[in-house]
Protein backbone atom coordinates (compact mmCIF):
# COMPACT_ATOMS: atom_id res chain seq x y z
CA UNK A 1 0.00 0.00 0.00
CA UNK A 2 1.28 3.48 -0.95
CA UNK A 3 2.05 6.18 1.56
CA UNK A 4 -0.46 9.01 1.37
CA UNK A 5 1.18 11.20 4.00
CA UNK A 6 4.75 11.05 5.26
CA UNK A 7 5.79 13.01 8.35
CA UNK A 8 9.54 13.48 8.52
CA UNK A 9 11.41 14.53 11.62
CA UNK A 10 8.47 16.67 12.71
CA UNK A 11 8.97 18.86 15.79
CA UNK A 12 6.46 21.28 17.25
CA UNK A 13 6.67 23.77 20.09
CA UNK A 14 3.91 25.68 21.87
CA UNK A 15 6.05 28.58 23.09
CA UNK A 16 8.90 26.96 24.99
CA UNK A 17 7.14 23.65 25.42
CA UNK A 18 7.96 20.97 22.89
CA UNK A 19 4.77 19.05 22.05
CA UNK A 20 6.08 16.83 19.24
CA UNK A 21 9.57 15.35 19.11
CA UNK A 22 11.12 14.01 15.91
CA UNK A 23 8.01 12.29 14.61
CA UNK A 24 8.54 10.04 11.59
CA UNK A 25 5.34 8.39 10.50
CA UNK A 26 3.85 7.16 7.21
CA UNK A 27 0.10 7.11 6.70
CA UNK A 28 -0.96 4.50 4.16
CA UNK A 29 -3.57 5.44 1.61
CA UNK A 30 -7.07 3.97 1.79
CA UNK A 31 -6.62 2.65 5.29
CA UNK A 32 -7.46 3.71 8.83
CA UNK A 33 -4.60 4.86 11.05
CA UNK A 34 -5.33 5.44 14.73
CA UNK A 35 -3.33 7.58 17.13
CA UNK A 36 -3.55 6.57 20.77
CA UNK A 37 -1.89 7.74 23.97
CA UNK A 38 -2.64 9.49 27.25
CA UNK A 39 -3.91 13.08 27.35
CA UNK A 40 -1.21 15.55 26.45
CA UNK A 41 0.86 13.01 24.52
CA UNK A 42 0.70 15.00 21.28
CA UNK A 43 -1.63 12.79 19.24
CA UNK A 44 -4.21 15.53 18.52
CA UNK A 45 -1.45 18.05 17.91
CA UNK A 46 0.08 15.66 15.39
CA UNK A 47 -3.29 15.10 13.70
CA UNK A 48 -3.74 18.84 13.32
CA UNK A 49 -0.35 19.25 11.68
CA UNK A 50 -1.63 17.08 8.83
CA UNK A 51 -3.86 19.86 7.47
CA UNK A 52 -2.14 22.78 9.21
CA UNK A 53 -4.97 23.42 11.65
CA UNK A 54 -2.27 24.42 14.13
CA UNK A 55 -1.38 27.46 12.04
CA UNK A 56 -3.88 29.49 14.04
CA UNK A 57 -2.33 28.72 17.41
CA UNK A 58 -0.25 31.56 18.94
CA UNK A 59 3.45 31.04 19.62
CA UNK A 60 3.59 27.80 17.68
CA UNK A 61 6.76 26.71 15.89
CA UNK A 62 6.94 23.73 13.58
CA UNK A 63 10.05 22.13 12.08
CA UNK A 64 10.26 19.16 9.76
CA UNK A 65 8.14 18.08 6.84
CA UNK A 66 4.69 16.71 6.20
CA UNK A 67 4.60 15.29 2.69
CA UNK A 68 1.19 14.78 1.12
CA UNK A 69 1.28 13.00 -2.25
CA UNK A 70 4.93 13.91 -2.60
CA UNK A 71 4.56 17.61 -1.75
CA UNK A 72 5.50 19.31 1.49
CA UNK A 73 2.39 20.97 2.92
CA UNK A 74 4.59 23.32 4.97
CA UNK A 75 6.43 24.61 1.87
CA UNK A 76 6.14 28.29 1.03
CA UNK A 77 3.16 29.19 -1.11
CA UNK A 78 0.93 26.26 -0.13
CA UNK A 79 -2.74 27.36 -0.24
CA UNK A 80 -4.22 26.06 3.02
CA UNK A 81 -7.78 26.35 1.65
CA UNK A 82 -6.92 23.88 -1.09
CA UNK A 83 -4.98 21.76 1.43
CA UNK A 84 -7.99 21.56 3.75
CA UNK A 85 -10.30 20.69 0.87
CA UNK A 86 -8.03 17.75 0.21
CA UNK A 87 -7.55 16.94 3.93
CA UNK A 88 -10.86 17.32 5.74
CA UNK A 89 -11.45 17.20 9.46
CA UNK A 90 -14.14 16.07 11.89
CA UNK A 91 -14.01 17.12 15.53
CA UNK A 92 -14.91 15.67 18.91
CA UNK A 93 -18.13 17.63 19.37
CA UNK A 94 -20.52 17.44 16.42
CA UNK A 95 -20.58 21.02 15.12
CA UNK A 96 -23.24 21.41 12.45
CA UNK A 97 -23.87 24.97 11.33
CA UNK A 98 -27.20 26.44 12.53
CA UNK A 99 -28.82 25.98 9.15
CA UNK A 100 -30.65 23.23 7.27
CA UNK A 101 -29.24 19.74 6.75
CA UNK A 102 -29.04 20.49 3.02
CA UNK A 103 -27.21 23.78 3.52
CA UNK A 104 -24.73 22.21 5.91
CA UNK A 105 -23.65 19.71 3.27
CA UNK A 106 -23.82 22.23 0.40
CA UNK A 107 -21.80 24.79 2.36
CA UNK A 108 -18.35 23.60 1.25
CA UNK A 109 -19.18 23.05 -2.43
CA UNK A 110 -20.83 26.52 -2.56
CA UNK A 111 -17.68 28.11 -1.10
CA UNK A 112 -15.73 26.36 -3.83
CA UNK A 113 -17.98 27.98 -6.43
CA UNK A 114 -20.63 25.38 -7.22
CA UNK A 115 -23.96 27.17 -7.73
CA UNK A 116 -25.94 24.86 -10.00
CA UNK A 117 -28.89 23.50 -8.05
CA UNK A 118 -28.93 20.06 -9.66
CA UNK A 119 -25.20 19.59 -9.10
CA UNK A 120 -25.59 20.63 -5.45
CA UNK A 121 -28.59 18.28 -5.03
CA UNK A 122 -26.50 15.41 -6.33
CA UNK A 123 -23.51 16.25 -4.08
CA UNK A 124 -25.78 16.55 -1.02
CA UNK A 125 -27.50 13.24 -1.72
CA UNK A 126 -24.29 11.35 -2.42
CA UNK A 127 -22.45 12.81 0.56
CA UNK A 128 -25.33 11.95 2.90
CA UNK A 129 -25.49 8.44 1.43
CA UNK A 130 -21.73 7.99 1.86
CA UNK A 131 -22.10 9.14 5.46
CA UNK A 132 -24.87 6.55 6.00
CA UNK A 133 -27.32 9.30 6.94
CA UNK A 134 -29.42 9.81 3.82
CA UNK A 135 -32.20 7.32 4.61
CA UNK A 136 -32.71 8.88 8.02
CA UNK A 137 -32.95 12.49 6.79
CA UNK A 138 -34.11 12.38 3.15
CA UNK A 139 -37.60 13.64 4.06
CA UNK A 140 -36.35 16.54 6.11
CA UNK A 141 -33.37 17.91 4.24
CA UNK A 142 -34.65 21.44 4.66
CA UNK A 143 -35.12 21.33 8.40
CA UNK A 144 -32.59 22.65 10.89
CA UNK A 145 -29.60 20.34 11.42
CA UNK A 146 -29.56 21.14 15.13
CA UNK A 147 -32.72 18.99 15.45
CA UNK A 148 -30.72 15.84 14.68
CA UNK A 149 -29.44 13.53 17.40
CA UNK A 150 -25.76 13.73 18.39
CA UNK A 151 -24.85 10.65 16.34
CA UNK A 152 -26.74 11.99 13.31
CA UNK A 153 -25.08 15.38 13.72
CA UNK A 154 -21.65 13.74 13.69
CA UNK A 155 -22.52 11.79 10.54
CA UNK A 156 -23.76 15.09 9.04
CA UNK A 157 -20.35 16.59 9.83
CA UNK A 158 -18.75 13.65 8.04
CA UNK A 159 -21.11 14.22 5.07
CA UNK A 160 -20.16 17.91 5.10
CA UNK A 161 -16.52 16.88 5.01
CA UNK A 162 -17.13 14.41 2.14
CA UNK A 163 -19.03 17.00 0.07
CA UNK A 164 -15.82 18.77 -0.95
CA UNK A 165 -14.35 15.48 -2.16
CA UNK A 166 -11.39 15.20 0.20
CA UNK A 167 -8.76 12.49 -0.14
CA UNK A 168 -7.86 12.34 3.53
CA UNK A 169 -10.23 12.57 6.51
CA UNK A 170 -8.85 13.48 9.93
CA UNK A 171 -11.05 12.70 12.93
CA UNK A 172 -10.27 13.96 16.42
CA UNK A 173 -12.08 11.70 18.91
CA UNK A 174 -15.20 11.71 16.72
CA UNK A 175 -17.24 9.40 18.94
CA UNK A 176 -16.27 10.45 22.45
CA UNK A 177 -19.48 12.49 22.82
CA UNK A 178 -21.72 9.77 21.35
CA UNK A 179 -23.68 6.86 22.78
CA UNK A 180 -22.47 3.29 22.05
CA UNK A 181 -24.87 2.64 19.15
CA UNK A 182 -24.02 5.92 17.41
CA UNK A 183 -20.36 5.11 18.02
CA UNK A 184 -20.71 1.74 16.28
CA UNK A 185 -22.50 3.42 13.36
CA UNK A 186 -19.61 5.85 12.91
CA UNK A 187 -17.12 2.98 13.17
CA UNK A 188 -19.00 0.99 10.51
CA UNK A 189 -19.10 4.09 8.36
CA UNK A 190 -15.34 4.64 8.65
CA UNK A 191 -14.73 1.00 7.69
CA UNK A 192 -16.73 1.62 4.50
CA UNK A 193 -15.17 4.99 3.77
CA UNK A 194 -11.62 3.64 3.82
CA UNK A 195 -12.27 2.06 0.42
CA UNK A 196 -12.26 5.59 -1.02
CA UNK A 197 -10.45 7.75 1.53
CA UNK A 198 -7.36 7.76 3.71
CA UNK A 199 -8.46 8.07 7.33
CA UNK A 200 -6.53 9.14 10.43
CA UNK A 201 -8.29 9.09 13.78
CA UNK A 202 -7.36 10.15 17.29
CA UNK A 203 -9.15 8.05 19.87
CA UNK A 204 -9.04 7.52 23.60
CA UNK A 205 -11.00 4.33 23.13
CA UNK A 206 -8.46 1.56 22.62
CA UNK A 207 -11.12 -0.98 21.76
CA UNK A 208 -12.19 1.40 19.00
CA UNK A 209 -8.65 1.52 17.62
CA UNK A 210 -8.40 -2.27 17.76
CA UNK A 211 -11.82 -2.66 16.08
CA UNK A 212 -11.35 -0.35 13.13
CA UNK A 213 -7.75 0.72 12.58
CA UNK A 214 -5.39 -1.00 10.15
CA UNK A 215 -2.42 0.77 11.71
CA UNK A 216 -1.99 2.25 15.16
CA UNK A 217 0.59 4.66 16.55
CA UNK A 218 1.20 5.08 20.27
CA UNK A 219 2.28 8.53 21.45
CA UNK A 220 3.76 9.44 24.83
CA UNK A 221 4.96 12.87 26.00
CA UNK A 222 5.40 14.17 22.45
CA UNK A 223 7.15 11.09 21.11
CA UNK A 224 5.84 8.39 18.87
CA UNK A 225 6.82 5.29 20.80
CA UNK A 226 5.54 2.55 18.55
CA UNK A 227 3.76 2.33 15.23
CA UNK A 228 2.67 -0.72 13.32
CA UNK A 229 -0.18 -2.92 12.21
CA UNK A 230 -2.99 -2.76 14.75
CA UNK A 231 -2.98 -6.55 15.16
CA UNK A 232 0.68 -6.45 16.12
CA UNK A 233 0.45 -3.47 18.42
CA UNK A 234 -2.45 -4.87 20.44
CA UNK A 235 -1.28 -8.48 20.59
CA UNK A 236 2.49 -8.24 20.75
CA UNK A 237 3.64 -4.67 21.38
CA UNK A 238 7.39 -4.32 21.07
CA UNK A 239 7.90 -1.50 23.56
CA UNK A 240 7.23 -2.04 27.25
CA UNK A 241 5.68 1.46 27.51
CA UNK A 242 3.13 0.53 24.82
CA UNK A 243 2.30 -2.73 26.60
CA UNK A 244 1.90 -0.94 29.93
CA UNK A 245 -0.37 1.72 28.43
CA UNK A 246 -2.65 -0.51 26.38
CA UNK A 247 -3.08 -3.00 29.20
CA UNK A 248 -4.02 -0.18 31.56
CA UNK A 249 -0.97 -0.33 33.79
CA UNK A 250 -0.46 3.41 33.49
CA UNK A 251 -2.13 6.36 31.80
CA UNK B 1 -1.25 1.35 39.65
CA UNK B 2 -4.27 1.49 37.39
CA UNK B 3 -6.62 -1.49 37.07
CA UNK B 4 -5.47 -2.88 40.41
CA UNK B 5 -8.55 -5.06 40.80
CA UNK B 6 -7.93 -6.56 37.34
CA UNK B 7 -4.32 -7.24 38.27
CA UNK B 8 -5.41 -8.83 41.55
CA UNK B 9 -7.80 -11.07 39.61
CA UNK B 10 -5.02 -12.00 37.18
CA UNK B 11 -2.71 -12.86 40.07
CA UNK B 12 -5.41 -14.96 41.72
CA UNK B 13 -5.84 -16.80 38.40
CA UNK B 14 -2.12 -17.56 38.35
CA UNK B 15 -2.21 -18.76 41.96
CA UNK B 16 -5.15 -21.09 41.24
CA UNK B 17 -3.56 -22.42 38.08
CA UNK B 18 -0.36 -23.09 39.98
CA UNK B 19 -2.30 -25.01 42.64
CA UNK B 20 -4.00 -27.08 39.95
CA UNK B 21 -0.64 -27.84 38.30
CA UNK B 22 0.82 -29.18 41.53
CA UNK B 23 -2.33 -31.09 42.39
CA UNK B 24 -2.15 -32.84 39.00
CA UNK B 25 1.56 -33.63 39.44
CA UNK B 26 0.79 -35.12 42.87
CA UNK B 27 -2.08 -37.16 41.41
CA UNK B 28 0.18 -38.43 38.66
CA UNK B 29 2.96 -39.38 41.08
CA UNK B 30 0.52 -41.14 43.41
CA UNK B 31 -1.18 -42.89 40.51
CA UNK B 32 2.14 -44.22 39.17
CA UNK B 33 3.17 -45.28 42.70
CA UNK B 34 -0.15 -47.10 43.10
CA UNK B 35 0.49 -48.81 39.76
CA UNK B 36 4.09 -49.69 40.61
CA UNK B 37 3.25 -51.13 44.05
CA UNK B 38 -0.22 -52.43 43.28
CA UNK B 39 -1.46 -50.14 46.06
CA UNK B 40 -5.23 -50.28 45.70
CA UNK B 41 -5.86 -47.95 48.65
CA UNK B 42 -3.69 -45.25 47.13
CA UNK B 43 -5.46 -45.82 43.80
CA UNK B 44 -8.81 -45.17 45.51
CA UNK B 45 -7.49 -41.95 47.02
CA UNK B 46 -6.36 -40.75 43.59
CA UNK B 47 -9.80 -41.49 42.12
CA UNK B 48 -11.56 -39.57 44.91
CA UNK B 49 -9.20 -36.62 44.57
CA UNK B 50 -9.92 -36.32 40.82
CA UNK B 51 -13.09 -34.39 41.68
CA UNK B 52 -10.88 -31.68 43.14
CA UNK B 53 -9.02 -31.44 39.83
CA UNK B 54 -12.31 -31.17 37.93
CA UNK B 55 -13.61 -28.50 40.31
CA UNK B 56 -10.43 -26.47 39.85
CA UNK B 57 -10.80 -26.66 36.09
CA UNK B 58 -14.33 -25.22 36.30
CA UNK B 59 -13.24 -22.52 38.73
CA UNK B 60 -10.35 -21.40 36.51
CA UNK B 61 -12.45 -21.52 33.34
CA UNK B 62 -15.08 -19.33 34.99
CA UNK B 63 -12.42 -16.87 36.16
CA UNK B 64 -10.92 -16.66 32.65
CA UNK B 65 -14.28 -16.14 30.94
CA UNK B 66 -15.26 -13.48 33.46
CA UNK B 67 -11.99 -11.62 32.92
CA UNK B 68 -12.53 -11.72 29.14
CA UNK B 69 -16.10 -10.52 29.57
CA UNK B 70 -15.41 -7.71 31.99
CA UNK B 71 -11.86 -6.58 31.24
CA UNK B 72 -11.36 -7.14 27.49
CA UNK B 73 -7.74 -8.16 28.02
CA UNK B 74 -5.17 -7.50 25.29
CA UNK B 75 -1.48 -8.11 24.59
CA UNK B 76 0.27 -10.16 27.31
CA UNK B 77 -2.90 -10.25 29.46
CA UNK B 78 -4.87 -11.87 26.63
CA UNK B 79 -2.14 -14.43 26.02
CA UNK B 80 -1.95 -15.27 29.75
CA UNK B 81 -5.71 -15.73 30.05
CA UNK B 82 -6.14 -17.73 26.85
CA UNK B 83 -3.18 -19.94 27.81
CA UNK B 84 -4.75 -20.58 31.23
CA UNK B 85 -8.05 -21.45 29.54
CA UNK B 86 -6.36 -24.00 27.28
CA UNK B 87 -3.92 -25.49 29.80
CA UNK B 88 -6.61 -26.33 32.37
CA UNK B 89 -8.17 -28.64 29.79
CA UNK B 90 -4.92 -30.58 29.41
CA UNK B 91 -4.41 -30.69 33.17
CA UNK B 92 -7.92 -31.99 33.70
CA UNK B 93 -7.43 -34.69 31.05
CA UNK B 94 -4.16 -35.78 32.67
CA UNK B 95 -6.13 -36.02 35.92
CA UNK B 96 -8.82 -38.12 34.21
CA UNK B 97 -6.31 -40.46 32.65
CA UNK B 98 -4.46 -41.08 35.88
CA UNK B 99 -7.82 -41.72 37.60
CA UNK B 100 -8.69 -44.18 34.82
CA UNK B 101 -5.36 -45.95 35.31
CA UNK B 102 -6.18 -46.19 39.03
CA UNK B 103 -9.56 -47.76 38.29
CA UNK B 104 -7.76 -50.43 36.27
CA UNK B 105 -5.29 -50.99 39.10
CA UNK B 106 -8.18 -51.73 41.46
CA UNK B 107 -9.51 -54.38 39.06
CA UNK B 108 -6.13 -55.93 38.29
CA UNK B 109 -2.97 -57.28 39.75
CA UNK B 110 -1.11 -54.19 38.62
CA UNK B 111 2.24 -55.01 40.11
CA UNK B 112 2.20 -57.98 37.84
CA UNK B 113 1.63 -55.66 34.88
CA UNK B 114 4.29 -53.19 35.88
CA UNK B 115 6.87 -55.96 35.94
CA UNK B 116 5.48 -58.19 33.25
CA UNK B 117 5.57 -55.60 30.49
CA UNK B 118 9.10 -54.43 30.19
CA UNK B 119 8.59 -50.96 28.72
CA UNK B 120 5.70 -49.76 30.89
CA UNK B 121 7.92 -48.54 33.78
CA UNK B 122 10.00 -46.40 31.40
CA UNK B 123 6.83 -45.04 29.77
CA UNK B 124 5.45 -44.09 33.18
CA UNK B 125 8.70 -42.47 34.19
CA UNK B 126 9.11 -40.41 31.01
CA UNK B 127 5.44 -39.33 30.90
CA UNK B 128 5.57 -38.20 34.54
CA UNK B 129 8.77 -36.24 33.98
CA UNK B 130 7.32 -34.70 30.82
CA UNK B 131 4.32 -33.40 32.76
CA UNK B 132 6.50 -32.12 35.59
CA UNK B 133 8.88 -30.32 33.19
CA UNK B 134 6.05 -29.02 30.99
CA UNK B 135 4.52 -27.40 34.08
CA UNK B 136 7.89 -26.03 35.09
CA UNK B 137 8.40 -24.54 31.60
CA UNK B 138 4.96 -22.95 31.89
CA UNK B 139 5.60 -21.53 35.36
CA UNK B 140 9.06 -20.22 34.42
CA UNK B 141 8.03 -19.03 30.90
CA UNK B 142 10.90 -21.25 29.72
CA UNK B 143 10.46 -21.85 25.98
CA UNK B 144 13.76 -23.73 25.68
CA UNK B 145 12.64 -26.31 28.23
CA UNK B 146 9.19 -26.48 26.55
CA UNK B 147 10.78 -27.29 23.18
CA UNK B 148 13.02 -29.92 24.77
CA UNK B 149 10.08 -31.61 26.55
CA UNK B 150 8.16 -31.84 23.26
CA UNK B 151 11.02 -33.85 21.73
CA UNK B 152 10.71 -36.52 24.43
CA UNK B 153 7.26 -37.47 23.18
CA UNK B 154 8.75 -39.52 20.33
CA UNK B 155 10.30 -41.90 22.87
CA UNK B 156 6.92 -42.33 24.63
CA UNK B 157 5.27 -43.15 21.30
CA UNK B 158 8.03 -45.63 20.50
CA UNK B 159 7.63 -47.31 23.90
CA UNK B 160 3.88 -47.52 23.39
CA UNK B 161 4.45 -49.42 20.15
CA UNK B 162 6.92 -51.71 21.93
CA UNK B 163 4.37 -52.36 24.68
CA UNK B 164 1.75 -53.33 22.12
CA UNK B 165 4.16 -55.79 20.48
CA UNK B 166 5.17 -57.21 23.85
CA UNK B 167 1.54 -57.70 24.82
CA UNK B 168 0.77 -59.45 21.53
CA UNK B 169 3.62 -61.86 22.21
CA UNK B 170 2.41 -62.49 25.77
CA UNK B 171 -1.12 -63.29 24.61
CA UNK B 172 0.23 -65.70 22.02
CA UNK B 173 2.09 -67.66 24.69
CA UNK B 174 -0.45 -67.26 27.48
CA UNK B 175 -4.02 -67.01 26.15
CA UNK B 176 -5.37 -66.88 29.71
CA UNK B 177 -3.71 -63.44 30.06
CA UNK B 178 -5.76 -61.83 27.27
CA UNK B 179 -8.03 -59.83 29.59
CA UNK B 180 -5.10 -58.51 31.56
CA UNK B 181 -3.20 -57.66 28.39
CA UNK B 182 -6.13 -55.60 27.09
CA UNK B 183 -6.13 -53.63 30.35
CA UNK B 184 -2.34 -53.16 30.11
CA UNK B 185 -2.74 -51.86 26.57
CA UNK B 186 -5.29 -49.33 27.80
CA UNK B 187 -2.98 -48.25 30.61
CA UNK B 188 -0.13 -47.82 28.13
CA UNK B 189 -2.44 -45.77 25.91
CA UNK B 190 -3.32 -43.53 28.86
CA UNK B 191 0.39 -42.98 29.55
CA UNK B 192 0.95 -42.15 25.89
CA UNK B 193 -1.92 -39.63 26.02
CA UNK B 194 -0.48 -38.08 29.19
CA UNK B 195 2.70 -37.44 27.17
CA UNK B 196 0.58 -35.75 24.48
CA UNK B 197 -1.04 -33.45 27.05
CA UNK B 198 2.41 -32.51 28.34
CA UNK B 199 3.28 -31.56 24.75
CA UNK B 200 0.13 -29.42 24.56
CA UNK B 201 1.11 -27.60 27.75
CA UNK B 202 4.52 -26.89 26.20
CA UNK B 203 2.90 -25.58 23.02
CA UNK B 204 0.67 -23.22 25.01
CA UNK B 205 3.71 -22.09 26.97
CA UNK B 206 5.35 -21.15 23.66
CA UNK B 207 2.16 -19.38 22.59
CA UNK B 208 2.03 -17.44 25.83
CA UNK B 209 5.49 -16.05 25.15
CA UNK B 210 5.29 -15.56 21.38
CA UNK B 211 1.64 -15.54 20.26
CA UNK B 212 2.61 -18.42 17.95
CA UNK B 213 2.01 -22.12 17.97
CA UNK B 214 4.02 -24.47 15.75
CA UNK B 215 5.30 -21.43 13.85
CA UNK B 216 1.76 -20.32 13.11
CA UNK B 217 0.75 -16.97 14.48
CA UNK B 218 -2.49 -17.15 16.48
CA UNK B 219 -2.64 -13.55 17.73
Backbone angles phi, psi at A32, to 5 degrees: -110, 125
* Chain B residue numbers touching A247 (CB-CB < 8 A): 3, 73-77
- The answer, yes or no, to whether residue B124 has pLDDT greater than 80, is yes
What one-character DSSP code corresponds to residue B215?
T
Interface contact flag, B75 A210, Cβ < 8 Å: no
Task: Kindly state whether residue A104 falls inside one of the protein's structural domains.
Answer: yes
Average pLDDT over residues B173-202: 94
- The answer, yes or no, to whether residue B113 has pLDDT greater than 90, is no
Percent of chain B with pLDDT strictly greater than 90:
86
Among A residues 232-251, those touching chain B with beta carbons less than 8 Å apart? 234-237, 243, 246-251
Q: What is the extent of the structural domain holding A104? A: 3-246
Beta carbon pairs, A and B, within 8 Å: 37
Closest CB to A247: pick one of B76, B210, B219.
B76
Task: Kindly state whether residue A71 falls inside one of the protein's structural domains.
Answer: yes
Interface contact flag, A248 B76, Cβ < 8 Å: no
Q: Which helix (H) or strand (E) holds A235?
A: helix A230-235
- Count of domains in chain A? 1
Closest CB to A234: pick one of B3, B74, B210.
B74
Name the pairing type of β-strands A17-28 and A71-72.
Answer: unpaired
| Residue-wise pLDDT tens digits, B26-36 | 999 999 999 99
- The answer, yes or no, to whether residue B214 has pLDDT greater than 90, is no
Name the pairing type of β-strands A71-72 and B212-213.
Answer: unpaired
Q: Does A148 touch chain B (CB under 8 A)?
A: no
Label residue B117 by pLDDT band (50, 70, 90). Answer: confident
Percent of chain B with pLDDT strictly greater than 70:
97
Closest CB to A235: pick one of B2, B72, B211.
B211
Per-residue model confidence (pLDDT) at position A251: 61
Closest CB to A246: pick one of B6, B75, B211.
B75
Of all residues in chain B, the one with the smallest CA distance to A233 is B75
For testing the chain A interface, which of B2, B10, B211 should be mutated: the one with the most A CBs within 10 Å? B2
- The answer, yes or no, to whether residue B208 has pLDDT greater than 70, is yes
Interface contact flag, A234 B2, Cβ < 8 Å: no
Average pLDDT over residues B35-53: 96
Closest CB to A247: pick one of B74, B210, B211.
B74
The two most distant CA atoms of chain A are separated, in Å, by 57
Interface contact flag, A237 B75, Cβ < 8 Å: yes
- B4-217: which CATH topology? Methane Monooxygenase Hydroxylase; Chain G, domain 1 (1.20.58)
| Residue-wise pLDDT tens digits, B48-91 | 999 999 999 999 999 999 999 999 999 999 999 999 999 999 99
Supply the mean pLDDT for chain B: 94
- The answer, yes or no, to whether residue B110 has pLDDT greater than 80, is no
Task: Kindly state whether residue A251 falls inside one of the protein's structural domains.
Answer: no
Instruction: Mark out chain B residues that contact chain A at CB-CB < 8 A.
Output: 1-3, 6-7, 72-79, 210-211, 219
- The answer, yes or no, to whether residue B109 has pLDDT greater than 90, is no
Label residue B130 by pLDDT band (50, 70, 90). Answer: very high
Residue B190 CB contacts under 8 Å (≥ 6 apart), including other chains: B97, B98, B100, B101
Going along chain B, which residue ranges are E strands? 212-213, 216-217
ipTM of the complex: 0.84
Residue B78 exposure: Cα atoms within 13 Å on the Cβ side: 19
Interface contact flag, B76 A243, Cβ < 8 Å: yes
Interface contact flag, A243 B75, Cβ < 8 Å: yes
Of B44, B49, B193, B43, give the one whose Cα is nearest residue B131. B193
- Mean pLDDT for back-to-back runs of 10 residues, chain A (251 residues): 96 97 98 97 97 94 97 96 96 96 98 96 97 96 97 97 97 95 94 97 96 98 98 96 92 61
Label residue B111 by pLDDT band (50, 70, 90). Answer: low
Interface contact flag, B74 A250, Cβ < 8 Å: no
Where residue B165 falls (left for φ over 0; alpha for ψ -120 to 50; beta otherwise) is alpha
Q: What distance, in Å, lies between the first and last C-alpha atoms of chain B?
A: 27
Of B91, B12, B15, give the one whose Cα is nearest residue B53. B91
Per-residue model confidence (pLDDT) at position B140: 96
| Residue-wise pLDDT tens digits, A151-166 | 999 999 999 999 999 9
Per-residue model confidence (pLDDT) at position B1: 58
CATH number, residue A85: 3.40.50.300
- The answer, yes or no, to whether residue B5 has pLDDT greater than 80, is yes
Amino acid sequence: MENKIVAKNLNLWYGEKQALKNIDLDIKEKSITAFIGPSGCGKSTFLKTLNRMNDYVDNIRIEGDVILDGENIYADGVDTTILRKKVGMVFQQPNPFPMTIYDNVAYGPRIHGIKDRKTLDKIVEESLKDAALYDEVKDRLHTNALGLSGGQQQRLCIARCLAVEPEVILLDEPTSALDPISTLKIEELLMELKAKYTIAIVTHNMQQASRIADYTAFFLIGEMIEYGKTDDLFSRPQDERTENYITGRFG
Amino acid sequence: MLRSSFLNDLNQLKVDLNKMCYLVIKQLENGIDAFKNDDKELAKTVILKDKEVNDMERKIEAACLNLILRQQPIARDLRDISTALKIVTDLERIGDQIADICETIIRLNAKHAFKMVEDIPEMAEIATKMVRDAIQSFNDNDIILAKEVKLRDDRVDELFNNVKLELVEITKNAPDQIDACIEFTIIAKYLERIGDHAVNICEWTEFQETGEMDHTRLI
